[in-house]
Amino acid sequence: MAKRRRKNIFAKKNNTKKNNTKKKSGGGKKKSGGGKKKSGGGGGGGKKKKGGKKKSPFAALFAFLAMIPKIFQIITGIIMGIKDIFMGLAREFKEFPQGAYYLGMHAAIFVQYLGVFAFTNLFCAMQMIQNFSSCFFWYALDIFGKILYLLPQIIIFFLEMLGVPAKKMETQVWLFLEKIDRIVIDATGFHIIHFPKDVRDKCFNCKRLRTSALIDRANDAFGDLKDPIIPFMTGGIVDMFNGARRVVNALLGPIGIKI
């Protein structure tokens, strides 16, 4: 009995070992099967990626149609810029000679005025130097009178600052004195507010171009230089530069560069 029990126990142990080995081998098969499934899943995923979404054959056409307005705008800008360049060139050939003529005319007139001013004032200065000894008394009297007249000039200046029309009042006073002087000279032959005529002719009167006349001539010349001389001489050049800038902006505008 004891031997039979031992044999049964040994047989059960062998059966359990066999069962365990079968389970392990079965599990391995399952695992390998799972591996196949994974690999199969991976293959299926790869095939799906290769398939993807196909692009519409009209997408390129639509993109090209969307670019047509920009291309048209670029071409228009280039054409208009070239047109401005040629129009500016034509304007320069037309207006530059006119501007050069006006410039030469004003320069000649101003040089003439400057020469007359220099010559006449030099002649008068030489005359005054020549007559200085005989006219010294009258020169000193004239300077003394101007010094005395500084005080009324200062009063007139401050009254003008206060809003009193003192300058007009001064003019009216001198006009009244001129009338009185004319009456006195007609009656007696003497001036009351001027030096005698022979003294004025010898010591003060001299035919010369005044500084104010030269300044007025210079102002006229500079005014004409601003308009129309400079616009005539440079208007076409400005148009050409604007045309060139228009061409550059048309080419570089699509990438966001403008000048």
Q: Which domain range does residue 145 map to?
A: 68-255
- Taking a C-beta distance cutoff of 8 angstroms, is the pair 161, 244 a contact? no
- Report which DSSP code applies to 57: T
Residue 42 belongs to some domain of the structure: no
The tally of domains found in the chain comes to: 1
Residue 55 belongs to some domain of the structure: no
List own/partner pairs for 28-31 with CB under 8 A and 24 or more apart: none
Token digits of residue 43: 């293959």
Residue 210 belongs to some domain of the structure: yes
- Taking a C-beta distance cutoff of 8 angstroms, is the pair 94, 205 a contact? no
Residue 199: CB atoms within 10 A of its CB come to 17
Peptide bond into 228 cis (omega under 30): yes
Displacement of CA 35 from its chain's centroid (Å) = 77
**Positive or negative CA dihedral for 45, 50, 56, 62?**
positive
Token digits of residue 183: 């009456």
User: pLDDT by residue for the chain (259 residues), tens digit each?
Assistant: 444 555 455 445 555 544 554 444 444 444 444 444 444 444 444 444 444 556 666 777 777 777 888 888 899 999 999 999 999 999 999 999 999 999 999 999 999 999 999 999 999 889 888 989 999 999 999 999 999 999 999 999 999 999 999 999 999 999 999 999 999 988 888 888 888 888 988 888 888 888 888 899 889 888 888 888 999 999 999 999 999 999 999 888 878 888 8
Residue 33 belongs to some domain of the structure: no
Residue 197 belongs to some domain of the structure: yes
**What secondary structure, in 3-state letters, does 138-150 show?**
HHHHHHHHHHHCH
Q: Which amino acid appears at position 120 of this protein?
A: T
CA–CA separation, 195 and 203 (whole Å):
10
Residue 43 belongs to some domain of the structure: no
Residue 62 belongs to some domain of the structure: no
Residue 227 belongs to some domain of the structure: yes
